[in-house]
Amino acid sequence: MRRAPGALRLLTTCALSLALLPLAGASAQGQEQQRSRVLVLFDTSGSMGVDIETGEPTGGDNSREYPGDGGLSRLFVAKEALAGLITTQSEVEFALMRYPMREGLGINRGVIDGRQNQSYAGLEEQPLNYAGECTGLLRPGDPDEAFALVVPFSDDNETDIVRWLDHREDFPADKELRAEGSTPIVETLRLAEQYLVEIGRGDPGARCRRTAVVLLTDGSESCVPFAEREQRLAERGAALRELRFVVDGEEVVQDVRTFVVAYGVNQRAYDQLTALARAGGTAVDLRGEPDPTGGPYEASDLISLRRAFSAIVREAIPTELCNGLDDDCDGRVDEGVQNLCGGCGPPPEEDCDGNDDDCDGRVDEGALNACGQCGPLPGEVCNDIDDDCDGAVDEAVDNACGGCALVREEVCNGVDDDCDGRIDNRPGADLPLSRPCSRDVGACAAGREACVAGEWGACDGVVPRDEQCDGTDDDCDGAVDEETRPCGPALDIGDVGECRVGQRRCDPQACANGLCAEDGWLAACEDAVGPADETCNGRDDDCDGAADEGLINACGQCGPPPPEACNGLDDNCDGRVDDDALCPAGFLCFAGECVQPCGSAGECRPGFACLAVWPGARYCHPEPCAAAYCSPGLTCTDAVGACSDPCVGVQCAAGERCVFGECLAEPCPDGCIEGERCTADGCLGDPCADVDCGQDAFCRDGECVDACRVASCGPDRVCVDGLCVGDPCGGRCLRGSRCDPVDGACVADPCAAVDCPAGTACVDGACAPDAPCAAVRCPAGTACVDGSCTDFTPGRDPRTQVADAMPPVDAGLDVSMQADVALDAAPDARVEPADGGEPPRGDPGDCAQGPGGRASGWPAVGALLCLVLGLARRRRG
């Protein structure tokens, strides 16, 4: 009879709560400053979907979406055990990783790269949103890449972890662990090491914090060649034991132990996991007690999983030791482990000194001798007194030498010690004293040495000598030629970074084969590793004490920074977006897109609008408002593709006025008299009220100033107040960007997409009263920028910039896509279409048609354009 999953969940939570009560109580004794961290690596391979009792597929995992045939899956039981632990344990901060998986709505219908999913039934009708991979990234990146980390460390992430374990899914808002794919343990451990190094660099408490990795798996490594599996697993466990990173300029080395829970595994998997547990420093015996020669924790059901998790968590929580250190990182030292005297270890033994040495409130208890005195009993002397208080007087003190006590034993000193009339003799004989020397081991032979004139003579056997490389046990310790000599290129460096000092062994027999460098010593230097050129791998290859020096780019990655792409992002991490971004020949980088000139009649392919980048230069862009500069009080929306008044139809109360569709207090409720203008501070005199500057000039502070209308100044110059002046950006900056005079780069204009109400102007991306453009009224066809009117004509014709762009992918393609485009003949339409209608629209993903939606002979070029623009849109999304 099977227990229902809901009842099992309740049983798990209650049982774990009782099991962990002592742990919860411990935290109440002192406030933690650095909680221990446990990174859980959860097995999401396909075998986790089998029945926990029979090992047969269940057709599901007991979740709401995939209930299966009623059998209880390993995945369900493991989730229950982990969820109960997470919700009842407060002294440990958890993070959750799975085996690398790709994610996407309905991407897995049962067969991935020829591999048939055996865990779930009916995936054709209800596909999985996950597909396991042997390799992946730490976090989500490209949608086609697998990733492993699902919930990072944080103070309050319990709910986030449990949502992955609650047997219900609402993809992508609420995801779930599923049983799908292979068992990439080595790769997952590599990603775990990468993650712990990353968070360790930003952890000021890393030197004190206890961190552990817990691997729960029901099988053996399957993504590494069989012959390499145990070695690769052991290497990963050993690497975590010496996790190195730099915090505040100082290297920190953390001993991160890897706890392994073998969940219903076979003997082959057990042997592999044993290698990992031993290298990770967590091997246990069959009773779960620490044993360096043991294996992993074993579990086969809910109870044994709960027992293993509880034991591991207890090991992960640091215990205060009596050593003058703050072992549990709670800000206190040696609390609860000192003895009655306030010191470490057991209390001192009571001495007979008149003091309470063991701090038990009593003095000299158990330390007085039979005579009622301190110290040892007095020795019996020949004086007719019971000196040692044993009831007998002068017992055994009358000797052959005529005194008290026993005679002394004869020793080799030239004196008759036992008063038998002979010096340095054997007891009861005239022969001299002798003793054994040396022993019958190796080149040695046992013998004897005799006492001559009060000193020991030479041994008549063979005694040990220094070990030589000669095939003989010269030092007679039972081992032959066990000596080694240090060697290798790191001899003067030592074991620093990747360098290791090698050893040259003694092997006289190899000399006959010409393998010796000198008499008896092998020429080969074993295990020697010398300095190498530094590569970007997180290791100190050149053994100078620093890793990857000079090889990390501005983006914090290896190698040169990535090239800048036209995508609205700062790809090369220089603080600028799309600077010097390259586009295919015939395209222009504008507003984060590689755009193509409009057709001769202003047509674009579906999903693109024809925008005027500058007079006479019109390009197709997927965002109709990308080139928009609207008059004060108007705003541009992509749905319309034109400037419009959001206050149309809005009725405001008395004393209010509509600003961008919202009713605000009117600063000039009664209006202003002639010659004044309304500002945020009320009505003020307008110096331009009676000034008429004509169609090609504007009034500023009562003076007429020439506007920059279609005034192309040429390379390296720009128009300001009708005059051409030097431009550090070379006249290259188009609408939506502006020149940074510091280094001559075109940077994004923070005011390009900001529409401000009347009486205000945009400054650094925000509307401000009395700004440079607040009182400027520009002629038609121009807009105010930094207090001057311009039609955004750059000094350099963007069509010449297109000619300098990146060559096409295939030099054999005809990418001149301008044969039917007459830019100079295109009508001038900045934002609103000339006929008042909507701009061209359509499906941005339709790449089978040319400009304007009509069929054309450019499928190869169109495919390239679709790829460029499609990737740009996907990156922004």
Picking from 670, 634, 678, the residue whose alpha carbon sits closest to that of residue 775 is 678
- When mean pLDDT is compared across 100-114, 157-171, 270-284, 716-730, the lowest value belongs to 716-730
Alpha-carbon gap, residue 630 to 642, rounded angstroms: 9
Picking from 625, 628, 611, 633, the residue whose alpha carbon sits closest to that of residue 777 is 633
Q: What is the pTM of this model?
A: 0.41
Instruction: Tell me: pLDDT of 832 over 60.
Output: no
Contacts of 41 (CB under 8 A, 6+ apart): 97, 98, 185, 188, 189, 192, 213, 214, 215, 216, 217
29: left (phi over 0), alpha (psi -120 to 50) or beta: alpha
Residue with the bigger pLDDT between 795 and 855: it is 795
DSSP labels, 401-412: TSSSSPPPPP-S
Task: Name, of 141-150, 192-201, 361-370, 622-631, the range with top average pLDDT.
Answer: 192-201
Picking from 848, 851, 843, the residue whose alpha carbon sits closest to that of residue 863 is 848
- When mean pLDDT is compared across 143-152, 207-216, 376-385, the lowest value belongs to 376-385
DSSP labels, 194-217: HHHHHHHHT-TTTTT--EEEEEEE
* pLDDT above 90 as % of the chain: 34
Residue with the bigger pLDDT between 515 and 843: it is 515
Look at residue 226 in the predicted model and tell me its pLDDT. 95
In this prediction, residues 47-56 reach a mean pLDDT of 94
- When mean pLDDT is compared across 112-126, 471-485, 726-740, 841-855, the lowest value belongs to 841-855
Task: Name, of 238-242, 444-448, 472-476, the range with top average pLDDT.
Answer: 238-242
Instruction: Tell me: pLDDT of 95 over 90.
Output: yes
Contacts of 321 (CB under 8 A, 6+ apart): 327, 334, 337
Mean pLDDT across the chain: 79
Look at residue 33 in the predicted model and tell me its pLDDT. 57
In this prediction, residues 308-331 reach a mean pLDDT of 74
Instruction: Tell me: pLDDT of 873 over 70.
Output: no
Coil/strand/helix, residue 860: helix
Instruction: Tell me: pLDDT of 28 over 70.
Output: no
Look at residue 840 in the predicted model and tell me its pLDDT. 36
In this prediction, residues 685-704 reach a mean pLDDT of 86
The torsion defined by the Cα of 73, 76, 77 and 79, in degrees rounded to 10, comes to: 150
DSSP labels, 274-314: HHHHHHTT--B-TTS-B-TT-B-EEE-SHHHHHHHHHHHHH
478's tokens: 């039972």
Alpha-carbon gap, residue 358 to 376, rounded angstroms: 20
Coil/strand/helix, residue 733: coil
732's tokens: 């290259």
In this prediction, residues 101-128 reach a mean pLDDT of 89
Look at residue 262 in the predicted model and tell me its pLDDT. 96
Q: Given CA atoms 330, 331, 334, 340 in this order, what sign does their dihedral have? A: negative
Residue with the bigger pLDDT between 748 and 295: it is 295
Alpha-carbon gap, residue 641 to 626, rounded angstroms: 9
Q: How confident is the model at residue 803 (pLDDT cuts 50, 70, 90)?
A: low
Look at residue 3 in the predicted model and tell me its pLDDT. 39
Instruction: For 531-577, write each residue's pLDDT tens digit.
Output: 999 999 889 999 998 988 878 888 888 878 888 889 888 888 987 88
521 contacts 513 by C-beta, under 8 angstroms: no
860's tokens: 């190869």
The phi and psi torsions of 276 (rounded to 5 degrees) equal -70, -45
Instruction: For 351-373, write each residue's pLDDT tens digit.
Output: 777 787 778 778 777 667 778 77
Q: How confident is the model at residue 860 (pLDDT cuts 50, 70, 90)?
A: very low
Instruction: For 752-789, write each residue's pLDDT tens digit.
Output: 777 777 667 888 888 887 788 877 888 877 888 888 88
User: At which residue do the structure tokens 């993070």 appear?
Assistant: 95
Q: How confident is the model at residue 835 (pLDDT cuts 50, 70, 90)?
A: very low
Alpha-carbon gap, residue 164 to 80, rounded angstroms: 11
How long is the chain? 877
User: At which residue do the structure tokens 């529409």 appear?
Assistant: 755
